[in-house]
Amino acid sequence: MIEIKLLEEFISGTYTEEYQYKAFLPNPINEKWFWQDSEINMLLEEANRTLGEINAFSILIPNIDLFIKMHITKEANTSSKIEGTKTEMDEAIMKEEEITPERRDDWKEVHQYIEAMNGSIKLLNELPLSNRLIRETHKILLQTVRGENKMPGDFRISQNWIGGSSLASAKFIPPNYRYIDELMGDVERFIHNESNNVPHLIKIAILHYQFETIHPFLDGNGRVGRLLITLYLVGQGILNKPALYLSDYLERNRDEYYSHLTAIREKNQIIPWIKFFLKGIISTATNAKETFIKIIQLQKDMEVKLHSFGTKSEKINTILNSFYDTPILSVKDIVIITGIADKTTRNMLELMLEEGLIKEMTGYGRNKLFIFEKYFNLFK
C-alpha cells in the first residue's frame, strides 16, 4: 500500500557498509507525495502554462520537425558539454569528414546523443517509458569507441563513483550494483503509477534526482537522465513534440544543479531542487517560445526577400529550405538534397551571398561551406 508522504519530510536514503567504503542507498520514491510550500503551486502553474504555449507553437509552425531537429542538435551538444566534450554548435551540424581529426571523438559523442534521442522518441510509439526503453536509449548513446567497454544497454554489475580518481577519493558513491534492479523497478513503478496523483512535473523532478542518484550505468548516466526528462514529457503527452530540453539551463547553472542533488542526498532538501527544476522548465519553455517567434519572423522576412529574385525565387526557396534542415551546407550537400544541378546551385548561392541570405564560412577557394547564419544564431 502506497503511503501519503510530505516532501518537506523527504528522507533520501541511508549508507550501506561495503568492502572498504560506504555507498549511498536511496529510499524508494513510489509514494503519494504532497507538499505544503505554496511557491511550488505557483511555479507548477506557470510551468504548465509555458509548456502549453510551446504546444501551440508546435501546431502553428509549418515544417516544425525541421526546427525540432535543431533543438535536438543543441540539446545533444549542450548535454554532452556538461560531460566534458568540446564540440561547438557549428561543428555539431557539420559532417564527420569536415571535423578536424583530433575533435572527431567528441563529435561522435554528440551525434550518438542525437541518435539516442531520435531513436528513443521513435521507440515511444512501440514501448512505454520503461527500464527496457531506458536501456535501449543507453545502448544507442554508448555506441562509440569511448563507450563500447561500458556495458551499453545494461545496468552495471560493478561499483561506480562520482568525482575523484577512486572510491577512496570519490565525492559520491551510488548504491552497490546488487540494489540496481530493485531500485530501477521502483522507478518504473513510480513512472506508471497514476493512482498517486503526483503532478507530472513534480514526478519527473523526483525521477531525475533518483535516476542520477542510482547511477545505474557505468557511463552515460547524466546524459540518459537528462534525456529522460524529455522522454517523460513526450511519453505522457505533455509535449506534442520533443521541443523542450533542460541541458542548456542545467549547463548554465551547473554548480547549482549539482549542489541541489547533493543537498537532497546529504540533507534531505528536495523542495529547493523541485523549485529549481520548475524554474528551469519555465525558463527553457520561455526561451523555446521566443525562438519559435523569431523563426516565424525570419520566415516572413525570407519570403519578402524571395520575391526580389523573380523567376529564380522557386529554386532559391528550395535551397533555403535545405538550410532550415541543416544550416551549414556545401554545394555537394545542396545538390544531393535538392536535386538541383551543380552549376545552377552555385549560381543560386552566389545570388544568395550577394543578398546577404547566407555567408561563406571557410574562406577557401574550394570545398566551401555556406551558413544560414540568421537561422543558426537562433540556436546558439
pLDDT in tens, 100-150: 888 888 888 888 888 999 999 999 999 999 999 999 999 999 987 567 788
CATH class of this structure's domain 4-291:
mainly alpha
Only one residue has cell 523555446, namely: 288
Spans of the chain, pLDDT less than 50: none
Half-sphere exposure in the Cβ direction for 236 (13 Å, CA): 17
pTM of the model: 0.91
CATH 1.10.10.10 maps onto the chain at 308-379
- What local confidence, expressed as pLDDT, does residue 199 receive? 97
- What local confidence, expressed as pLDDT, does residue 145 receive? 54
CATH 1.10.3290.10 maps onto the chain at 4-291
- What local confidence, expressed as pLDDT, does residue 37 receive? 97
Among candidates 295, 380, 370, which has minimal Cα distance to 327? 370
Contacts of 47 (CB under 8 A, 6+ apart): 201, 278, 281, 282, 285
- What local confidence, expressed as pLDDT, does residue 140 receive? 92
Whole-angstrom Cα distance, residue 181 to residue 188? 10
Pairing of strands 32-34, 4-6: parallel
Architecture in CATH for domain 308-379: Orthogonal Bundle (1.10)
- The residue type of 254 is R
Among candidates 327, 331, 281, which has minimal Cα distance to 302? 327
* Neighbouring C-beta atoms of residue 100, cutoff 10 Å: 8
φ/ψ region of 26 (left if φ > 0, alpha if ψ in -120 to 50, else beta) reads beta
Sign of the C-alpha dihedral computed for residues 119, 293, 310 and 354 taken in this order: negative
Question: 104 and 78 in contact (C-beta within 8 Å)?
Answer: no
* C-alpha cell of residue 68: 525540432
pLDDT digits (tens, 9 = 90+) for 34-79: 999 999 999 999 999 999 999 998 887 777 777 788 888 888 788 8
- What local confidence, expressed as pLDDT, does residue 97 receive? 87
- What local confidence, expressed as pLDDT, does residue 95 receive? 86
Among candidates 59, 66, 75, 152, which has minimal Cα distance to 117? 75
Whole-angstrom Cα distance, residue 58 to residue 202? 24
- The residue type of 148 is E
Report which secondary-structure segment, H or E, holds 25.
strand 21-26
- What local confidence, expressed as pLDDT, does residue 73 receive? 85
Whole-angstrom Cα distance, residue 290 to residue 257? 24
- What local confidence, expressed as pLDDT, does residue 236 receive? 94
